[in-house]
Amino acid sequence: MTMLTRNLVSASVPSIRVFSSAATRFLKTGDILKRARIFTSEDVLDYSKVSHDSNPLHFNSEAAQNAGFEDRVVHGMLVAALFPKIISSHFPGAIYVSQSLHFRSPVYIGEEIFGEVQAFNIRQQKNRYLAKFKTACFKDGCVVIDGEAMAVLPTLSVED
């Protein structure tokens, strides 16, 4: 290969660098983790069995409408369970320490809900991390639940 050919080939073929597709990402202040979910009648029934919350608002459309709702309402605590799900799915072994909640609007069966947690304070404690999160669930862009959570994380490495 002549010098001219070598120069032309090297100029037209960019060098290729190989990176692992599983590049490690670390949680930092401001990061937002999200998850979407649609709650079904079966979800409500299963939650009722475990929680022993059999309020007719969750099972009877007429009772829900008489109370001022459009239809049957998903348990607020079931919707709020998105927060520990988001945290534990990204940080296996996380320990949920606390959660404050404000229920802003009802969630009806079959609606798509978007949950998110945003890290706003992270401190190292020995070989673990104490992370505080702003938490919120949305439907159609409106907040249905918000609050704050705290969790002990075994690492700041985010799993996808």
74-121 pLDDT per residue, tens: 999 999 999 999 999 999 999 999 999 999 999 999 999 999 999 999
| CA distances from residue 29 to 119, 122, 130, 132, 144 in whole angstroms, order as listed | 5, 7, 12, 9, 24
Task: Give the least confident one: 2-11, 30-39, 64-73.
Answer: 2-11
pTM above 0.85, yes or no: no
In the chain the domains, ranked by start, together with CATH numbers, are: 27-38+76-158 (3.10.129.10)
Number of Cβ within 10 Å of residue 26's Cβ equals 10
